[in-house]
């Protein structure tokens, strides 16, 4: 099947016509789409008060781009090769699942070396291996729906993951490279909105597919693989374990670490022993409707990218350990501390204002006798707070100690107490503070050790992989990912409001 060339992003999606073997998107010609595309230049800069060594930075500017000229586009549902047993039809979410953000985690993998095999052969292998791996990862083939008690659950009915295959007439470079790949996520084909930091709830959707995939072939024979999973179904560790397993099966290999679906392992204790009071990373909703939805800022955001080498990270750790009786600190703590100082200074806030940093932790490594292959949500957030003036003035070692001390408190007993608090308070009555980080706070997430550059589906390893973030991401959000060089360096992506972004660019010594 094929479709007329045309753009169908966001609200520009064209009518979807169902047929026996899938869905055909009917386009309306090549139309300009005024979404922002990120056009980047590379610079060599010296970070003030850092190491004095040049590092790679990217100054991001905003321009419009055109939707690709679609030669063909087919969407189908991919179900497990074997049916899921009836006993697993209803899978209850754990309190940690229900308390987590109702968003999709978007991943983009680019394979820029021209693919030798025919695209149909490549797609066929992807779909066949997906059918096989979904036997083990069957929750991803079901639907998020309301159970009989009105609470969201996983209906593991093998309905299938949405899988879109698209061929476009542009090269990857003409399309805009990795910065434009937010436009080829495949979410529209699954009838899901895609508007930046989008929350997906059962108040808006009758049911939600947990897994949405799109593979795109460009004129230059480069391939983009976009994978999106709902965060209530899987955290980053679980999501990348699925991707690794899928890539193994695609190469004819056994799954290294099959998933553990025992979500009751994250249940509250009996009797519960909840925390006294609300954990600082959450807030309890009142009866006032306006508190249930954080106000959305209409102010634009800018994106700045910084690459730090493995050697520079080691120098950062050495600098943070000097003068501290709590060190040595981890790489993540040191990167977070340095970024907190830079961003806080760039924002130009009142020195007496409060600023926070949220640290996302994997509970699997902190809970006693807990399976490392647990599939679901096992992440917890800790919060460090200080004044703007202190963060700007304190040496790196003291800022690192603030973050270290907040993380150190996430013990097995603390995590269990949080799960008990979820149960006693009711997850419908609480909300993360993460979406409202905005002007004063910072949320760095670390994908540094995820197996991004091991994901070979039979046509080579990716030349780039990372979060497929919107061009205007949530202000205060930062992503720390490995680089394609695979030498220990990291790519830090920071989203800020324009004034703060411009100040950070100036601080980094960047220019046009």
Closest to 62 in 3D by CA, of 464, 507, 495: 495
Q: Which residues of 54-87 are buried (b: 16+ CB within 10 A; e: fewer)?
A: ebbbbbbeeeebbbbbbebbbbbebbbeeebeee
Can you give the pTM of this predicted structure? 0.86
| pLDDT band, residue 180 (cuts 50/70/90) | confident
Start-to-end CA distance of the chain, whole Å, equals: 45
pLDDT of residue 510: 58
Omega before 271 cis (within 30°)?
Answer: yes
- Beta strands 379-387 and 354-362, pairing class: antiparallel
Please write the tens of the pLDDT for every residue from 127-149.
999 999 999 999 999 999 999 88
Please write the tens of the pLDDT for every residue from 232-270.
999 999 999 999 999 999 999 999 999 999 999 999 999
State the fold for domain 282-507.
Chloramphenicol Acetyltransferase (3.30.559)
State the fold for domain 37-43+67-266.
Chloramphenicol Acetyltransferase (3.30.559)
Omega before 328 cis (within 30°)?
Answer: yes
Please write the tens of the pLDDT for every residue from 472-486.
567 899 999 999 998
* Residue 206: pLDDT over 70: yes
CB-based contact 304:57 (threshold 8 Å):
yes
- Which residues have a Cβ under 8 Å from the Cβ of 211 and sit 6 or more positions away? 140, 141, 161, 162, 227, 228, 229, 230, 233
Mean pLDDT over 170-177 rounds to 92
Count of residues making up the chain:
512
Chain-wide mean pLDDT for the chain?
83
State percent of the chain over pLDDT 90. Answer: 65
The C-alpha atoms of residue 341 and residue 318 are separated, in whole angstroms, by 17
* Residue 395: pLDDT over 70: yes
| pLDDT band, residue 195 (cuts 50/70/90) | low
- Which residues have a Cβ under 8 Å from the Cβ of 277 and sit 6 or more positions away? none
The C-alpha atoms of residue 156 and residue 144 are separated, in whole angstroms, by 9
- Which residues have a Cβ under 8 Å from the Cβ of 363 and sit 6 or more positions away? 96, 370, 378, 379, 380, 410, 415
* Residue 379: pLDDT over 70: yes
**Of 8 and 222, the one with more pLDDT:** 222
**Of 281 and 91, the one with more pLDDT:** 91
List every span in the chain annotated with CATH 3.30.559.10: 37-43+67-266, 282-507
- Mean pLDDT is lowest, of 207-211, 299-303, 402-406, for 299-303
* Residue 48: pLDDT over 70: no
Token pair of 181 as six digits: 């790949």
| pLDDT band, residue 66 (cuts 50/70/90) | low
pLDDT of residue 7: 34
């Amino acid at each position: 099947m094929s479709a007329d060339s045309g753009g169908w992003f966001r609200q520009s999606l064209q009518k979807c016509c169902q047929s026996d073997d899938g869905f055909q998107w009917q386009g309306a010609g090549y139309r300009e789409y005024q979404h922002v595309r990120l056009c980047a230049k590379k610079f060599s800069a010296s970070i003030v008060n850092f190491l004095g060594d040049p590092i790679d930075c990217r100054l991001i500017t905003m321009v419009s781009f055109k939707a690709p000229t679609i030669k063909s586009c087919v969407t189908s549902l991919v179900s497990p090769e074997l049916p899921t047993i009836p006993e697993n039809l209803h899978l209850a979410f754990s309190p940690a699942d229900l308390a987590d953000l109702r968003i999709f985690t978007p991943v983009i993998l680019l394979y820029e070396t021209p693919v030798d095999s025919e695209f149909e052969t490549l797609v066929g292998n992807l779909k066949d291996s997906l059918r096989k791996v979904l036997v083990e990862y069957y929750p991803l083939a079901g639907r998020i729906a309301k159970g009989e008690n009105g609470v969201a659950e996983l209906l593991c009915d093998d309905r299938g993951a949405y899988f879109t295959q698209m061929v476009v007439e542009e090269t990857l470079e003409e399309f805009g490279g990795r910065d434009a790949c937010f436009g080829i996520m495949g979410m529209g084909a699954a009838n899901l909105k895609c508007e930046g930091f989008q929350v997906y709830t059962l108040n808006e959707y009758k049911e939600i597919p947990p897994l949405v995939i799109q593979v795109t072939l460009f004129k230059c024979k480069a391939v983009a693989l976009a994978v999106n999973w709902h965060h209530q179904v899987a955290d980053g560790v679980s999501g990348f374990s699925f991707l690794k397993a899928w890539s193994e099966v695609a190469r004819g290999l056994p799954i290294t670490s099959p998933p553990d679906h025992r979500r009751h392992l994250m249940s509250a204790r009996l009797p519960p022993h909840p925390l006294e009071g609300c954990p600082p990373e959450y807030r309890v909703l009142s009866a006032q409707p306006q508190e249930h939805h954080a106000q959305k800022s209409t102010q634009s955001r800018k994106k700045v990218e910084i690459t730090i080498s493995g050697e520079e990270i080691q120098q950062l750790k050495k600098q943070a350990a000097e003068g501290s009786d709590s060190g040595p600190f981890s790489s993540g703590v040191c990167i977070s501390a340095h970024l907190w100082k830079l961003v806080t200074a760039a924002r130009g806030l009142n020195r007496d204002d409060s600023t926070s940093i949220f640290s996302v932790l994997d509970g699997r490594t902190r809970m006693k006798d807990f399976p490392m292959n647990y599939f679901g949500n096992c992440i917890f957030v800790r919060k460090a707070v200080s004044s703007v003036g202190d963060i700007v003035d304190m040496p790196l070692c003291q800022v690192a100690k603030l973050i270290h001390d907040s993380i150190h408190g996430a013990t097995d007993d603390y995590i269990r107490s949080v799960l008990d608090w979820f149960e006693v308070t009711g997850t419908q009555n609480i909300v993360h503070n993460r979406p409202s980080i905005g002007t004063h706070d910072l949320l760095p997430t670390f994908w540094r050790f995820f197996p991004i550059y091991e994901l070979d589906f039979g046509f080579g390893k990716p030349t780039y992989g990372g979060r497929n973030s919107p061009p205007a991401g949530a202000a205060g959000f930062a992503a720390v990912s490995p680089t394609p060089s695979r030498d220990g360096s990291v790519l830090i992506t920071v989203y800020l409001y324009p004034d703060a972004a411009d100040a950070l660019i100036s601080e980094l010594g960047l220019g046009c």
